[in-house]
Structure formats: C-alpha cells, structure tokens
Amino acid sequence: MSLHILSSRGFQPVLVALALFMSACGEPSDPPSDAERARILGDAEIVFVEEKVDFTDEQYDFTGPTSIQALKSIIPPNEFVWYGTSPGDPPPFEEEANGVYKCGSRNQIREVSQLPATIEGIITLQPRYFQRTVYCDSDERFYGSYFIEDSTGGIMVLKESRIEDFYMGDRVRLRVRGLVKYFDTIAVLVSDEEEVISEDNPIYYRNTSRELEEEDAYEVHRIRKKVASLPTNQNFNEMCLIDVDNPDLDSCRKPCAFNNDCESGTCDFGNSQNAVAGYCTTDEGEWLVSLDREIGQRQPRIISRGDILEVTGPVVNSFGLKILVSRAGQMRFVE
C-alpha cells in the first residue's frame, strides 16, 4: 500500500505543522566566521547592481484629456497652502461659503469646477517615494508616492500604499479628484485607481549642466558630475555632486554657522531659523541626489568620493532642489 501525501490537499496542513515542529526542535546555527565566509565567497567582489531603465532625449508627444500643465494651472500661483477638490467629493468639514470649506485652523478647501480631470503620462519614479504633507492641520504621510509626466510637464501623485502596481516607464491614466499645494509641493491629493495603458516606455530626460532651478521640479533631468559627499543613513541617503573639474571635494554641503566658516561664498540658512542649520554656498555649483531607502542600503558601498556619475531622474523641491533615484539604472559610472 502506498500513501501519496503530496497529492492530497487534506494532508498539507499536517505537513506544514510537522515541518514547523521539526524546525523548532533544531539547534540554532551560528553565523559563519569571517574566515568561513571568505572561504565560501572566494574571490567575490562587490559590484554595482544593474536595473535597466530606458531613457530617451525625444520629448513625449501626448497628453491625456487634460494636460498636466493645465491641471497644475488650476492652483492659484500666489498661494502658499491650497487645497482643491471635485464638487462631487465634498470634504467632511464645515462649509463656510458656497463651495468653500473650513480646513483646520487657518486654511480652506475649495470646490474646483475643473475637477475631476483625467491625465495621462509616463511614470518617472517608482511608486515608493515618501512624502509628508499637512492636510487641514493633520500631518499626513504618503509612502507610495510617484511622479508622472506628459509632453507639458510633470507632477507628483500622493499615494499611501507601497504596493507597486506599475513601474518606471509605464504609461498610466488616472482621474484626479483633488489637488494640494503645500509651499514647494504641488501634487495630486486624491485620485481613482490608475489604469496602465502600456509598459516599458522610454523616459524623456533633459541634459543639464547648470544648477537646478525651481522650474525643473517634477521634470526628469540628467547630470554628469563628481561625487563629493556620500549618501548615508545620517543624511537621509543624500549625496552631493560637484562639477567634474572642481578639485575641492569638501566644498559640497559644508555645514556652517557664520559666513566666515566658508572659505568662499556665504552661509545659506534657507528657510531655517536655526543658526547652526546653514550650508556654505559657492560659485562652483553643487547638485543634490537623493537615493530612496532601498537603493541607499545596497549601492553606496561601491560609490566613492571622486567618482564621476551620470544620474537621471525627476527633480523635487524639498529642502533644496534634488534629483530622486529609486532604481539603480538611474545611475551610471563614467570612466
């Protein structure tokens, strides 16, 4: 008589329980020593992980029914904090006037007749970007945000979930029902589920040698610069790059309290009121590159100061203009 346990669904829970019981009775194993690890790995070396991302210098030739630029133009240009929603999505707050709702202690949410609006674009950053913003006095965190761009420009889409239903290079359509502007951040606040139109499209980039400007936000730029400071878990995985012919690796993002702390340039405190929060600015130029957590944990060990890197990614204006990297294929060593 033969017993075919693997072919019977009824025995699977028993097998799982038995396997767990047997593993629980085993002795814990010690991690291998350095000598044993060296014997196992032999001549293995740390290499740069390749994650291919297709880029192109050919501009997109499409928009959705509403272009992204037209969507962003809904937001009044002189507002610092602004919230807009579709008339079909009234917020659960007190209505102060027709279509205007009280939002926290000082702000308002306005019904916008142009919403909902359908946009379409290429995903330019993996949907796992962390963005924190304030919504009606409430501190909101979005862990799965991403960037999308059409022929007129780009915008950030706030998303709570980090489950990736699409990837960089996918062409996506979404119906926008709410917008937010919070100081330097302009983003889609509320939208319906995305519809993937096509996959693995090349991402349009602009070659840039100048310093980044506010108008570059949400657009994809490519720079070729020298690494001056490395990304670490102490600086939020942010590295600073300088011009290739600049020999001073210590000039990039040097902290300062007074102007005389800087050999050249001035001590820039940005929007901070903290006297010790400044950085030296120079006439030589500097470029910030922010690696997301997953890239930051596995790539910096093979990036060294003085390396020449070509970096391609969308620009965000968040405590300084910087290029965002969420896939290793956005970075390339230049010999």
Predicted pLDDT of residue 54: 97
Decide which of 3.90.76.10, 3.30.70.100, 2.40.50.140, 3.30.420.40 is the CATH code for 205-333: 2.40.50.140
Predicted pLDDT of residue 234: 81
Instruction: Report CA torsion sign: 80, 235, 238, 266.
Output: positive
The CA distance from 110 to 127, in Å, is 28
Predicted pLDDT of residue 52: 87
Q: What CATH architecture does domain 59-203 belong to?
A: Beta Barrel (2.40)
Instruction: Determine the straight-line distance between the first and last CA of the chain, rounded to whole angstroms.
Output: 68
Predicted pLDDT of residue 90: 82
- Per residue in 140-190, pLDDT (tens digit) is 999 999 999 999 999 999 999 888 889 999 999 999 999 999 999 999 999
Q: Are strands 100-103 and 95-97 parallel, antiparallel or unpaired?
A: antiparallel
Predicted pLDDT of residue 48: 59
Residues of the chain with pLDDT under 50: 1-16, 18, 272-275
Domain boundaries, the chain: 59-203, 205-333
The CA distance from 121 to 166, in Å, is 12
The CA distance from 263 to 208, in Å, is 27
Predicted pLDDT of residue 14: 46
pTM for the model stands at 0.79
The CA distance from 200 to 170, in Å, is 5
